């Protein structure tokens, strides 16, 4: 992000009404390689392809606040790989994670990884260190420490179905796993912040929290997310959950979250009611059916309807209700920038 874009984000959090409303998008490997016309493997493997693709997108769409910006990631594999999970890469398909825990009894043997040496994490940091001079020479800065959330990572390690069943059948083991993962995330965020002094935000993605009822959310999600978000005194605490978000929204203030990306299935006004007045809402165009598969006029119509429905336009960052989907055309990003 550029300095003016970062200042816009801070002003949004403070409650300033910006005119026109700013536009922001989460972009990463599901969309960027295809948009740039390169393979998924080239994007992940070749540092120059990764860097030039990110330069191309920020230069093509200078109005858009891309979040987190120059994101060095390996899909969902990044953090689970540090725990020994199998990373499965394809030429042109999003990578997958193979689970590494096949019995709840194995959890007692899980140890906190060393984020300086384990899995793909040192490759993430090495890429950012090498590319930082070029990124900053182009007027951008690394603003966010990024991570998958504790439930997201734990569910990859044991399997998604197994994790959700384990909340009911093996709660002690699930808590034990979440404690280790959370301690690891505190270390990982701290290492990113220590490595890049421009970082003043934390960006966490965790959709699994949207699959829990309120009692389970309070027991298995809230305490661990609080630990992660409270670990660093940063200005922006950004949470992505584009699964069911009503329960999550009601606890954002308690977690310290001040920027929330949520599912397009929730109307902006009802999300404001649940989240309260202090949170910047990032949304809320349907990312697949409208933003990726619709025509530019569909995007403009959706934005017009959204803005007409919102009573208070403070603390709104126009976006889609989730990350930018594969095959989203440039014309639809242009249409979003027209703000209807």
Collapsing DSSP to helix, strand or coil, 286 comes out as coil
**How many angstroms separate the CA atoms of 105 and 303, rounded?**
50
For CA atoms 98, 102, 104, 107, give the dihedral sign.
negative
Consecutive H or E run containing 65: strand 64-67
pLDDT value of position 340: 55
Region class of 338: left (phi > 0), else alpha (psi between -120 and 50), else beta: alpha
In angstroms, the Cα distances linking 328 to 11, 126, 293, 295, 332 are: 29, 30, 7, 10, 7
Region class of 240: left (phi > 0), else alpha (psi between -120 and 50), else beta: beta
Contacts of 306 (CB under 8 A, 6+ apart): 268, 284, 285, 318
Per the DSSP assignment, residues forming a β-bridge with 87 are: 97
Q: Which CATH class is domain 3-337?
A: alpha beta
pLDDT value of position 106: 97
User: How many CA atoms, within 13 angstroms, populate the side-chain half-sphere of residue 31?
Assistant: 21
pLDDT value of position 339: 72
**How many angstroms separate the CA atoms of 321 and 291, rounded?**
10
Give the pair of three-digit tokens for residue 53.
């693709």
**How many angstroms separate the CA atoms of 6 and 4, rounded?**
5
**How many angstroms separate the CA atoms of 57 and 32, rounded?**
8
The crossing angle, in degrees rounded to 10, of helices 222-229 and 150-158 is 120
**pTM for the whole structure:** 0.97
**How many angstroms separate the CA atoms of 327 and 156, rounded?**
26
User: Could you please report the per-residue DSSP string of 150-188?
Assistant: HHHHHHHHH-HHHHHHHHHH-HHHHHHHHHHHHHHHHHH
Per-residue pLDDT of the chain (340 residues; tens, 9 = 90+): 999 999 999 999 999 999 999 999 999 999 999 999 999 999 999 999 999 999 999 999 999 999 999 999 999 999 999 999 999 999 989 999 999 999 999 999 999 999 999 999 999 999 999 999 999 999 999 999 999 999 999 999 999 999 999 999 999 999 999 999 999 999 999 999 999 999 999 999 999 999 999 999 999 999 999 999 999 999 999 999 999 999 999 999 999 999 999 999 999 999 999 999 999 999 999 999 999 999 999 999 999 999 999 989 999 999 999 999 999 999 999 999 987 5
**Tokens 């960052």 sit on residue:** 317
């Amino acid at each position: 992000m550029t300095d003016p874009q970062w200042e816009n984000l801070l002003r949004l959090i403070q409650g300033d009404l910006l005119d026109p409303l700013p536009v922001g998008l989460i972009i990463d490997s599901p969309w960027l390689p295809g948009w740039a016309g390169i393979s998924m493997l080239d994007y992940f493997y070749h540092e120059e392809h990764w860097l030039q693709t990110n330069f191309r997108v920020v230069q093509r769409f200078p109005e858009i606040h891309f979040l987190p910006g120059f994101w060095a990631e390996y899909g969902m594999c990044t953090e689970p790989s540090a725990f020994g999970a199998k990373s499965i890469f394809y030429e042109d398909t999003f990578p997958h994670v193979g689970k590494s825990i096949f019995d709840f009894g194995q959890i007692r043997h899980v140890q906190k990884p060393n984020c300086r040496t384990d899995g793909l994490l040192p490759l993430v940091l090495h890429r950012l260190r090498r590319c930082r001079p070029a990124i900053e020479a182009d007027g951008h800065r690394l603003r966010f420490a990024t991570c998958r959330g504790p439930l997201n990572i734990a569910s990859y390690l044991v399997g998604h179905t197994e994790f959700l069943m384990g909340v009911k059948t093996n709660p002690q083991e699930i808590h034990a796993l979440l404690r280790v993962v959370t301690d690891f995330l505190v270390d990982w965020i701290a290492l990113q912040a220590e490595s890049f002094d421009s970082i003043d935000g934390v960006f966490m993605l965790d959709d699994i929290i949207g699959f829990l009822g309120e009692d389970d959310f309070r027991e298995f999600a809230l305490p661990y997310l609080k630990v992660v978000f409270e670990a660093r005194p940063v200005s922006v605490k950004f949470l992505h959950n584009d699964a069911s978000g009503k329960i999550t929204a009601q606890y954002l203030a308690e977690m310290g979250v001040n920027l929330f990306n949520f599912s397009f299935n929730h109307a902006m006004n009802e999300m404001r009611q649940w989240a309260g007045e202090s949170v910047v809402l990032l949304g809320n165009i349907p990312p697949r059916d409208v933003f990726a598969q619709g025509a530019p006029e569909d995007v403009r119509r959706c934005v017009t309807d959204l803005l007409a429905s919102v009573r208070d336009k403070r603390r709104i960052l126009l976006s889609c209700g989730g990350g930018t989907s594969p095959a989203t055309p440039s014309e639809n990003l242009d249409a979003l920038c027209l703000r209807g």
